[in-house]
Amino acid sequence: MAAARRIAHLDMDAFYASVELLRYPELRGQPVVIGGRRADAPQRNPDGTHRFARLRDYAGRGVITTSTYEARALGVFSAMGTMKAAKLAPDAVLLPTDFDAYRHYSRLFKTAVRAICPLVEDRGIDEIYIDLSDHPETTLELATTLKQAVRDATGLSCSIGVAPNKLLAKICSELDKPDGITILGMEHIATRIWPLAVKKINGIGPKATAKLAALGIETIADLAQADANLLQSNFGRTYAAWLQQVSQGRDDRPVVTSAEPKSISRETTFERDLHAVQDRDALSAIFTRLCTALAADLARKGYVCRTIGIKLRYDDFRTVTRDVTLTELTADAARIRRAAGECLRRVPLERRLRLLGVRASALIAAADAAQQRDQPQQSELPLGE
């Protein structure tokens, strides 16, 4: 029988906001939200201090991406509309998102962790899973060392959860935020996991939470005791089985240390809704700009694609997608623009639009594509000698 795994989930605390506080330490202790536009960047006064935009000055259709714990205390959280946040915390400082800076600190903390524990799975810009199973140190020693390494590399704090699998580690990293360490074994499931709301489980989102609530299932304990047939008739066989598994804290997904991207995309929400006819020129310019940016992304990351798709969001927030698979591989802006234009012709354009996006999928590494071109498949070679 294999030894129990030790899986850590490391989550940076209020990541974007914390990176901004490194730059503007005078904001420490204040409610600060990230989610503005470039126009909201702080102005530098002659005396070296900064003049910051306040949430009350914001007008637009953005959302909050992160907030400091002081802002959260006022009810302002990620994904909340910025205008709504402004009502709750008008005096909070508003900063624009600076992804280049966050990517920089993301690389720093991941490199620091990999230097100690190389089995790392990327889960986005601010969190990772780490497989600690093969390390001789105690779990607490390892978690303490990792946290210190992240702090030394970035000046930032993180929270770490360690458990026998990814599902529990993820739940656990949240139990003592910020700057915490939580270590759980299967023996703690009844006391520490079951009392939690079902939405704490990664994979149970708003829709499933609402459906479960309608069945009287609020906590993970409720889910663990739920009738299998009831779950099956409401969620289907596969999802019902998964719900029962996770309610018992069971999960055997491995930590995956490398993965190829499946798609690359660019999209934008307009400042005001646009109409395909009245705003034809503006829309066309944005469309071309998205295709150019996408082509540049493909080139920079070293991929070509075979499928091009578009995404439209109407003024009523309904979303439609169309895609087309080409007979050749491409990363060319003009080719992408033509394919995307073909997709656009297949979609109703009576309503005003609020969003337009372009996506490349069926990706192949450009190097592999070149090799396949230079060395045709065996079956394409003439037969016989």
What is the binding site for DNA (CB under 7 A)? Answer: 59, 61-63, 65, 78-79, 81, 83-84, 86-87, 123-127, 170, 201-209, 236, 238-239, 259, 261-269, 297, 306-307, 309, 316-317, 319-325, 343, 346, 354-355, 357, 359, 362
For the bound state, the minimum distance from the C-beta of residue 97 to DNA, rounded and expressed in Å, comes to 7
Nearer to DNA, 70 or 127 (CB): 127
Active-site pick, 127, 260, 267, 350:
127
Q: What is the C-alpha separation between 93 and 30, in angstroms, rounded?
A: 8
Burial 309-334 (b: 16+ CB within 10 A, else e): bbbbbbeeeeeeebbeeeeebbbbbe
Q: Is 127 a catalytic site residue? A: yes
Nearer to DNA, 187 or 350 (CB): 350
Find out whether the peptide bond into 254 is cis, omega within 30 degrees of 0: no
Nearer to DNA, 78 or 248 (CB): 78
Nearer to DNA, 21 or 198 (CB): 198
Nearer to DNA, 61 or 188 (CB): 61
Q: What is the C-alpha separation between 117 and 113, in angstroms, rounded?
A: 6
Q: What is the C-alpha separation between 101 and 24, in angstroms, rounded?
A: 13
State how far the alpha carbon of 77 is from the alpha carbons of 14, 18, 35, 68, in Å.
10, 15, 11, 9
Kindly report the backbone phi and psi dihedral angles of residue 144, in degrees, each rounded to the nearest multiple of 5, phi listed first: -65, -45
Nearer to DNA, 267 or 332 (CB): 267
| Cβ contact 366:303 at 8 Å | yes
For the bound state, the minimum distance from the C-beta of residue 128 to DNA, rounded and expressed in Å, comes to 10
For the bound state, the minimum distance from the C-beta of residue 172 to DNA, rounded and expressed in Å, comes to 13
For the bound state, the minimum distance from the C-beta of residue 210 to DNA, rounded and expressed in Å, comes to 8
Nearer to DNA, 114 or 322 (CB): 322
For the bound state, the minimum distance from the C-beta of residue 26 to DNA, rounded and expressed in Å, comes to 26
For the bound state, the minimum distance from the C-beta of residue 49 to DNA, rounded and expressed in Å, comes to 28
Residue 35's closest CA among 78, 71, 84, 3?
A: 78
For the bound state, the minimum distance from the C-beta of residue 15 to DNA, rounded and expressed in Å, comes to 8
Enumerate the β-bridge partners of residue 122.
128
Q: Catalytic residue positions? A: 127
